[in-house]
Amino acid sequence: MEPLCYHSGVSGSSDRTISVPLSLSGAVRASATEQAPAPSERRSTIEALVTLLGRESKSANLAIIRSRLLEAGAAALPSLDRARESNDDEEPAGAVALEIRRRMLDAEWIRWASSSDADLEAGALLIDRFGDPLRDQAPVQRALDDLATELGRRLEGVSRPGPTIETLTSYLFDEVGLRGNTNDYEDPENSYLSRVVERKLGIPVSLSVVVLLIARRLRLPLVGIGMPGHFIVRYGARESGPYLDVFGRGKVLTRGDCAEWLRTSGFDFEPRMLRPVDSRQIVARMLRNLVAVFSKRGAASEVAILSQYLRAVLAPTASVDIPVGSDPSAESAAG
């Protein structure tokens, strides 16, 4: 295969032509009779493309270089990241790296949304990476592990619901300091798991997710309750409760308290509003909240991406006979 020659676009001693093979993998553009390049050759090709990306000035050549790097996908990220960190002008390498990570995230969303047992933590971390594609999920998972370990230590010998709830709320809300962000409710960071854990601030659904993930680690019987306009959690299977208002620093609520809150908020109370929601419905609610936030900001590209994720999450339910209103959280994106 003939190499494609790019002009560096830099005057003086750097004004030269560099040859870069067209093919970056055996599956891309190579015929059935051609062999894929060796890993070292592929790395050299990627390095050359990244070098050219920072030097080329002609838009047509830049488009070709960008296309080849996008074609390389994850294999190009180490070289792009090094260029982004070492150069004063990080825009070209950073932009291509971001696009690659966005495409990888898109693929992960499709896999998550199409799985039969979509995991809540994995879905929340995908939303987290939408906020920052470079974000490492390991620190937030370790933080959740640590919170669960300490809470578990305090719950040793405790078995009855009342003392369990009292210990949980005392630790997570009074000591750790989880609280609702009443000063900036529509801050997108209220929906990103790592930022909620780090800042100890969130909205009802994101704070509830933190508590649910800690409870899952300890096998505590907490479930999410997607009331219209407000997300809470319930301890145990009994519809009578107790319920916890996580946004309200773990305030314990009865079924009657929940019904009264809904009525005063303009909703006609129905028992289905206190049914548990599954991981898919919780993640869909988190996405709806972000769509609403970015819509108010006029951020069309963010709205388009998040709406695409939301459609993917909801798609598997389209072929299932689900009673109308079985997910009351869909009635309101708030909380």
A 10 A CB-CB count for 300 gives 10
> What are the tens digits of pLDDT across the range 30-70?
333 445 556 777 888 888 888 888 887 788 888 888 888 88
pLDDT value of residue 323: 36
Residue 52 · residue 67 · CB < 8 Å? no
Q: Is the dihedral of CA 320, 322, 325, 329 positive or negative?
A: negative
**pLDDT exceeds cutoff 50 at 276:** yes
Quote the DSSP letter at residue 235.
E
Q: Which amino acid is at 27?
A: A
Residue 229's nearest CA partner among 100, 329, 128, 118 is 329
pLDDT value of residue 87: 67
Q: What is the mean pLDDT of residues 18-34?
A: 43
Per residue in 209-222, is it b (16+ CB within 10 Å) or e — as a string?
Answer: bbbbbbbebeebeb
* Integer Cα distance of 111 and 217 in angstroms: 24
What order of strands is seen across the sheet that includes strand 222-227? 251-253, 243-245, 230-235, 222-227, 276-277
Quote the DSSP letter at residue 187.
-
Q: Which amino acid is at 287?
A: L
> What are the tens digits of pLDDT across the range 130-185?
998 888 899 999 999 999 999 999 999 998 999 999 999 999 999 999 999 999 99
Check: pTM over 0.85? Answer yes or no: no
Q: Roughly what angle, to the nearest 10 degrees, separates helices 120-131 and 279-296?
A: 20
Q: What is the mean pLDDT of residues 83-96?
A: 76
Residue 227: strand pairing partners: 230
Q: What percent of the chain has pLDDT over 70?
A: 82
